[in-house]
Amino acid sequence: MKALLSLIFLLFFHVSFSQDLNEILKVRWEKGKKESQLELRGRAILNYQSIGEFYESRGFSPIWIESNDLSELAYELRYEIEQSKFDGLNPQDYHYSLIQTFFKSIEENKKSGFDPSLGDLADLEFFLSDAVIRLALDLDRGKLDPSKLNQSWNIPKKSSKFDSSIFLQKLAEDRSLRPLLVELYPVMNAYSKGREVIRDLATRMEKNELDWSSLRVNKSIKVGESNSTVPLIRERLAFWNYSSGQDLESKVYDSLLFKTILKYQENHGLEADGIIGKNTLAALNQSPEDLIGKVSVNLERLRWLDDSQLMSEAILVNIPDYSLVYLDRFDTVFFSKVIVGKTENQTPVFRATMSYIVFSPFWNVPESIVNKEIIPAVRRNPNYLTRNNMEVLSYSGKPVDPQSVNWKARSIPYLIRQKPGPSNSLGLVKFMFPNSFSVYIHDTPAKHLFERDVRSMSHGCIRLARPLDFAKLLLQGQEEWTDEKINEAMKQDHEVKVELIKKTPVYVVYLTFWTDGNCNPYFRPDLYDRDQEILDRLSK
């Protein structure tokens, strides 16, 4: 009989407790509706509207609290918030410290045999729901709005289909959070690899005993030379698992260290010349913490991209990597080195559609280049235009005698055009994806420039190392365009325009952390100094 009474008491207590907690949750929600905001303990519940509607739809039954105790789901959420640092996010954005305080208090009360107050549990229920929605939204579309940054990112931010109420409903039904969050991750390999890299760097940081003060030298160190900084360089290379010789204290830059430096430079997008100069030292001066910041910035950039549009076929140019890839369901089916804009003529970040090809193109010289380069060159050498196969045209397109032009003026009321041919600055073909920046991909007669590792030297357009192969790829399916016909089209004295049947999206992006086709991670120099602004805003 005693056992039966105890059971009845427990059941009654559970029902009574649940009804009381439900009622408090309802009061909190009605207060939020009335005031058009919900603030608890001095903190705003940003997603109070969708959260309140979710609870209202289930009679204000909690999902994080069970029988005046924390549910397994609540502990899972706390873990996922803590793990968000590996997504380059800040756990404090998701009430982490406050949630920790709540959990500690509830656990201590439990040990002492006391029940937590219903008010505390109601507040915690709202904070946990708000935290999970904040985290899900940031994973789904990024924490920052790229349009509000002081830099060029002209790709429309992903239009999210995320619905807070549906997410919470599914969470309440499945009682498992991890699969729902994974569904929100960008599907590009660089994202999952980036999370692994941050985790590895965090582990290295915990074990780190190195002094990461900046290494400096008065002049570049070349193989065979001796320098007191060399042992510190060896030490840092060893930290990153690069072999730097058995004698870490040797001050001599020997042949084994030279091979290691070459590999290090190659992996970090530096000029692989084996010379330890300012750029190589700048890379070596990056601590694990610095690299965590670099990866974090690029995971945020990946979250901005609508990768659903990349899941079929797409052309992707990565400016700091000096590379172009053609992706087919994220598999790299084509790769080429590229040359991008100089710091003073930065290649913009944007999205467009590859629409047509022009073989044997004219080059209409931009006015800025005419004024800064062509006019001074003609002053120095009156035969400059003839030597470079250029002509002067009126704005209506009529030929103008160069000798009739006043080349002493700062600018001229004419157009300069370079005729098709092997010496044309656009090479033998250009690839057009119309955009507001007048940027396109093109061939170049200066093939030797692709041998360099640092290739920021254009006026903003993108020069391609493998234009013939790229043209063949884009024209697949247009059977009349045989290899022979393509080669012939490249040798005309007039433009040959070809509309592409298959229109492929082109993404020109800026990623200083990247993975290759084999999912190997690479760090790249911040060519246009854009990382720090994003890192600062992510940290706030």
CA-CA distance, 508 to 527, in Å (whole number)? Answer: 14
Residue ranges per structural domain of the chain = 2-185, 209-286, 308-539
Asked whether residue 381 carries a pLDDT value surpassing 80, the answer given is yes
What is the reported pLDDT for 76?
98
Averaged pLDDT of the chain: 92
Q: Which of 532, 363, 378 is closest to 458 using CA atoms?
A: 363
* Model confidence pLDDT, tens digit, residues 170-213: 999 999 999 999 999 998 889 999 999 999 999 998 888 888 99
Of residues 31 and 139, the one with the higher pLDDT is 139
Q: What percent of the chain has pLDDT over 70?
A: 96
Res 10 pLDDT > 80: no
The per-residue pLDDT for range 42-65, each reduced to its tens digit, is: 898 998 899 999 999 999 999 999
pLDDT of amino acid 129: 97
- Write out the two tokens for 488: 């012939």
pLDDT computed for residue 42 by the predictor: 83
Would you say residue 122 has pLDDT above 50?
Answer: yes
pLDDT at site 34: 83
Provide the token pair at 348. Answer: 């913009």
DSSP state of 231: H
Residues assigned a catalytic role:
442, 461
> How far, in Å, CA of 497 to CA of 198, rounded?
47
Q: Confidence class of residue 9 from pLDDT cuts 50, 70 and 90? A: very low
DSSP 8-state code for residue 70: E
Q: 329 or 4: which carries more pLDDT confidence?
A: 329
Any residues with CB less than 8 A from the CB of 191 and at least 6 apart, and which?
185, 299, 302, 303
pLDDT at 409 over 90: no
Distance CA 132, CA 386 (A): 67
Q: Domain 209-286, CATH 1.10.101.10 — does that match? A: yes
The superfamily in CATH containing domain 308-539 is L,D-transpeptidase catalytic domain-like (2.40.440.10)
Q: Mean per-residue pLDDT for 219-232?
A: 95
Q: Tens of pLDDT along 265-312?
A: 998 989 899 999 999 999 999 999 999 999 999 999 999 998 887 878
Structure tokens at 175: 């009682």
Q: With bands split at pLDDT 50, 70 and 90, how would you rate the model's confidence at 14? A: very low
Which secondary-structure segment (H or E) carries 464? strand 462-464
